[in-house]
A and B are shown apart, each in its own frame.
Chain A
Amino acid sequence: MLKVESIKKGIVIDHISAGLGYRIFTELKLDQVDYTTALIRNVPSKKLGKKDLIKIDNVVDLDLDMLGLLDPNITIVIIESEHVHEKIKLSLPKKVHGILKCKNPRCISTVEKIEDIAFYLVNPDTHEYRCEYCDTPYYANKS
């Protein structure tokens, strides 16, 4: 397996579904930072078969709702002094605020350009969310 140096103090985003790593990397704007990061794709995984992995050699704030929406299987591993300090298992957030935009042209949010729209999880099996204003569905796993 490809060898990437271990992190002293930072974050590992683990168990990313294979193929989603690049999107998460860019959503977090890690392609624009000047500290050390690594995106490793198609890592063999007992649990997933294959997975993607992101290492961040820095302490950063992560939007866990946004990450959970993109991939609820993710595990966030906080590293301190080269050791695992904490593991956070993500899940689909029950409500997301200001992350999604409604695609329904008849929705008031598209006319009045509302930024902080809430979407509510209505079906965890299908990853279905609904716009708080017009109930238009958004499928987090199909976007």
Chain B
Amino acid sequence: MIKGKHLIEPTDLTLEELELLFDLALAIESKPKDYLSELNGYLLASLFYEPSTRTRFSFEAAMLRLGGQVIGFSEPNSSSVSKGESVADTIRTVACYADIAVMRHPKEGAPKLASKHSPIPIINAGDGGHQHPTQTLTDLLTIRSLKGTINQNVVGFCGDLKFGRTVHSLVKAMARYDNMTFVFVSPPELAMPAHIKDSLGSHNIIEVNNLEDVIDQIDILYMTRIQRERFFNEEEYLRLKSYFVLTKDKLSTAKDDMIVMHPLPRVDEIHPNVDEDPRAVYFQQAQYGMYVRMALILKLLKGDAHA
């Protein structure tokens, strides 16, 4: 039963719970007006200890589109946190006013700490470089909706696979499905860490340095940003950055039904000339992010007692 649970990491939900969640998200997507007053009278606390426009808007839009309302802060200086209040005390106070809380925090494990002291459901909206479970739910829903199933896909991850929190979470979440093939495309300096690969059990793993060598085999291509701050010298950054840019030309040998995903914000890693290609689904993915958050909030607050 998902009602009243916290979502701190993607595996907090069973595969069955995820299926029900995705069913609801897709039902909302098809008839959003049917859900406009589902959460009348409910209040979501949006606790953002660091700025995040995209995730915060997505959660707040989700709550408002369900007929609920939102209170909160978008940076800690405007809250009692600036006076030195602990996470535990903040959440105990917030729980007196709100029915559910969303927390983004620069420190790893802060939402987990909050969940230990909270009588209301806590959703982790990103804790430092650690977990960002609703991004993972967004990615899984996008795949489930656009590919029909998550099982048995060849999933390519391209770019910075060493430091990418989003990629690590998604890979671990996908490892729970059947017969996956993971294709990791990165420079050796930014390769997928061994402990993530070790967690993939019997799934197939392919590691290459060049996207063009494998793009024709891929069903889902997940692009990530290569960040300048990961490199010691500018030359190396510029060399690798251009190496992992997706262009229209590179897509020429890809399958017609492949999808290109990206957690956004995109910088240079996907050329704008890819945007018009029907396989580019990253903006649609952002919209699925709102639907899956609507479904999640609704399930955590009302369980199965919704429209």
Contact = CB atoms under 8 A, between A and B. Distances in A.
Interface of A: 104, 106-109, 111-112, 114, 131-136
A106 B128 contact: yes
B176 interface: no
A75 to B, nearest CB: 32
Contacts of A111: 107
A118 to B, nearest CB: 11
Interface stretch (B39-47, B108-116, B207-215, B258-266): B108-116
A131 B130 CA distance: 12
Interface string B85-117: 011100000000000000001111110110000
A133 B112 contact: yes
B113 A106 contact: no
B130 A112 contact: no
B278 interface: no
Given A112-B86, A112-B87, A134-B130, A107 B107 contact: yes
Contacts of B113: 108-109, 112, 114, 133
Contacts of B109: 107-109, 131-134
B108 A104 contact: yes
A106 to B, nearest CB: 5
A142 to B, nearest CB: 15
Contact of B108 (A112, A114, A133): A133
Nearest to A137: B195
A112 B88 contact: yes
When A and B form their complex, which 6 residue pairs have the shortest distance between CB atoms, in order from nearest? A133-B109, A134-B108, A108-B107, A108-B109, A108-B110, A134-B109
B129 interface: yes
Interface size class of B (residues with CB under 8 A): 10 to 19
Nearest to A132: B112
A107 B131 CA distance: 12
B88 A106 contact: no
Contacts of B108: 104, 106-108, 133-136
Interface string B19-62: 00000000000000000000000000000000000000000000
- Select the residue from B86, B109, B110 with max chain A CB neighbours within 10 A: B109
A35 to B, nearest CB: 40
B165 to A, nearest CB: 11
Contacts of A108: 87, 105, 107-110, 112-113, 127
A63 B72 CA distance: 44
Nearest to B113: A108
Nearest to B195: A137
Contacts of A114: 113
Interface in B266-285: none
B112 A106 contact: no
Residue from B107, B112, B113 having most chain A Cβ neighbours under 10 A: B107
B129 A106 contact: yes
Nearest to B86: A112
Given A108-B110, A131-B109, 12 more contacts: A106-B108, A106-B128, A107-B108, A108-B108, A109-B113, A112-B88, A114-B113, A132-B109, A134-B108, A134-B127, A134-B128, A135-B108
